[in-house]
Amino acid sequence: MQTDRKRESLLRNSGVQTIIGSLLCIAIGLLIGYVVLLIINPAGAGGAIAAILKNYFYYPSHVAVLKYLGTTLVKASALLVCSLSVLFAWKVGLFNIGVAGQYVIGAGASLYCALGLGLPWYVCLIAAMVCAALVGGISGALKAYFNVNEVISCIMLNWIGLYAVNMLLNTVKEQSTPYTKSLASANSSALLPNVGLDKIFSNNEYVTIGIIFAVLAAIIVWVLLDRTKFGFELKATGLNKHAARYCGMREKRNIILAMMISGALAGLGAAVLFLCGIEQWMVQMTSIPAMGFNGIAAAFLGGSHPIGAIFSSYFIQHITSGGSYVDKAMYSAQISDLISAFIIYLCGFVFFFKGWLGRLLDKRDEKRAAAQEKGGKAQ
């Protein structure tokens, strides 16, 4: 009886419910992915799902596993900062779908500062954050002063940003390819310092201080939102901006600031990825990079909590990277995009799931109380 009640109170805990919900989303998402693979080609479906889940464990040697774990971590750290960007805005009642565009702007600013202007990494990093913050701020200001829905303005800015960055980075691209010059050869001072982390991951030179920045960002966002007056004001504005104004908070300023911080985080995400040299920008890009949208997935899968986001963004990146190990003769790597898209879709049901679980527990409690009462009378 005692343990039963304990377990029940645990089930009633909102955090535990969120974790169960997220795990269910993952399980169902993978199941749907498996079914899709089965439909395409039943022969290799099991192997393909295993490959996606195994990711770098595909390699037999310990050294290679560590190396590719490092690569996954680098990309996951960028994804983590993007998901922080989404959840920060979400806590203030804003849906920052512009994270993708702010990420693009961050990439453009950091790469241009590095390759065009030859600046060191910390300047590039700050430039990325500032530029992305300004773009986020535009959406915030439009929302605060002109009542423009932030989702729509962000989407427009995503495309404007993509074309603008393509135009800007066209000036620093390689002669013969559509990619920007490699940082290592053009300006190695713009590479993020390794601070010895590369040694841990079998000399993977892409593992840099960026990972530390990402985790620090998660902790700072958590403290800022949950432990400071400013964070409280932001959340209050998100819950009811009229009430917030009535309480003497400057709701317009709060909306703009929230979008700017959210934008700065997206910019940081781009900087930690592009300034480690793992990827180069393709200046003929015609679609917005998926990183920002995956950030939305990670944010919601992590229960829109900064610490949850650490785990969820690692997971999303893990399966995204794992997609490249499926048997290419049968399937395409985009199967993992499909799975993460399904996971986001399912995240929409988590709220309903929590309500349903709560009602289920209520019903059981009622039944038990009724049974006890009956028992009491019988005696």
Partner 1 sequence: MILLLQYTLIFASVLVLVALGGCFSEHSGVINIGLEGIMVMGALGGALTMKYLPPDLNAALVILIVILACVVVGMLFSLLLGVAAIRFNADQTLVGTALNLLGPAAAVVLVRAINMAEDINNVSTTVAYGTAKKAFTTNIGSFEFNWFMLVALLVLIASYIVLYKTRFGLRLCACGEHPQAADSVGINVYKMRYAGVLISGALGGLGGLVYITAGVSEWKFENGVAGFGFLALAVMIFGQWKPINIGLAALLFGLFRALSNVYTGFDVLVALNLPNTVYNMLPYIISLIVLVFVSGKSKAPKAEGIPYDKGQR
When the beta carbons of 147 and 175 are compared against partner 1, the nearer one is 147
Distance CA 235, CA 110 (A): 31
328 binds partner 1 (CB under 8 A): yes
Identify residue 335 by its one-letter amino acid code: I
Judged by CB under 8 A, the residue of 18, 71, 83, 166 near partner 1 is 166
How far does the chain reach from its first CA to its final CA, in angstroms? 20
Identify residue 207 by its one-letter amino acid code: V
When the beta carbons of 70 and 98 are compared against partner 1, the nearer one is 98
Judged by CB under 8 A, the residue of 3, 42, 60, 146 near partner 1 is 146
15 binds partner 1 (CB under 8 A): no
- Contact between 271 and 129 (Cβ < 8 Å): yes
Distance CA 234, CA 207 (A): 34
Name beta bridge partners: 179.
282
Q: Hey, what's the torsion of the CAs at 260, 266, 270, 273, to 10 degrees?
A: 130
- Contact between 190 and 183 (Cβ < 8 Å): yes
The SS3 of residue 180 is strand
- Contact between 81 and 364 (Cβ < 8 Å): no
Judged by CB under 8 A, the residue of 153, 187, 208, 254 near partner 1 is 153
Q: Could you tell me the smallest distance in angstroms from the CB atom of residue 332 to partner 1?
A: 4
- The 17-36 site mask, x for binding partner 1 (CB under 8 A), equals -------------------x
Judged by CB under 8 A, the residue of 50, 134, 164, 249 near partner 1 is 164
Distance CA 372, CA 41 (A): 56
Q: Could you tell me the smallest distance in angstroms from the CB atom of residue 333 to partner 1?
A: 9
152 binds partner 1 (CB under 8 A): yes
When the beta carbons of 362 and 373 are compared against partner 1, the nearer one is 362
Judged by CB under 8 A, the residue of 97, 125, 214, 309 near partner 1 is 97
Judged by CB under 8 A, the residue of 11, 19, 148, 224 near partner 1 is 148
157 binds partner 1 (CB under 8 A): yes
- Contact between 279 and 111 (Cβ < 8 Å): no
- Contact between 124 and 106 (Cβ < 8 Å): no
When the beta carbons of 37 and 109 are compared against partner 1, the nearer one is 37
337 binds partner 1 (CB under 8 A): yes
156 binds partner 1 (CB under 8 A): yes
Site for partner 1 in 39-68 (CB under 8 A): 40-41
Site for partner 1 in 285-314 (CB under 8 A): 286-287, 290, 293, 296-297, 300
Q: Quick one: which segment of 56-64, 141-149, 217-225, 263-271 binds partner 1 (CB under 8 A)?
A: 141-149
Q: Could you tell me the smallest distance in angstroms from the CB atom of residue 344 to partner 1?
A: 4
Work out the angle at residue 267's Cα, subtended by the Cα atoms of residues 191 and 192, and round it to the nearest 5 degrees.
15
- Contact between 253 and 120 (Cβ < 8 Å): no
Nearest to 56 by CA among 43, 72, 34, 41: 72
Q: Could you tell me the smallest distance in angstroms from the CB atom of residue 315 to partner 1?
A: 16
335 binds partner 1 (CB under 8 A): yes
Distance CA 136, CA 150 (A): 10
135 binds partner 1 (CB under 8 A): no
Name the one residue in this structure whose structure tokens are 């993977």: 204
When the beta carbons of 76 and 297 are compared against partner 1, the nearer one is 297
Cβ contacts of 286 within 8 Å, gap of 6 or more: none
Q: Which helix (H) or strand (E) holds 29?
A: helix 14-40
Judged by CB under 8 A, the residue of 38, 155, 186, 357 near partner 1 is 155
DSSP string, 57-89: GGSSSHHHHHHHHHHHHHHHHHHHHHHHHHHHH
282 binds partner 1 (CB under 8 A): no
246 binds partner 1 (CB under 8 A): no
Instruction: Give me the residues that bind partner 1 (CB under 8 A), please.
Output: 36, 40-41, 95, 97, 142, 146-149, 151-153, 155-160, 163-164, 166-167, 286-287, 290, 293, 296-297, 300, 328-332, 334-335, 337-338, 340-342, 344-345, 347-349, 351-352
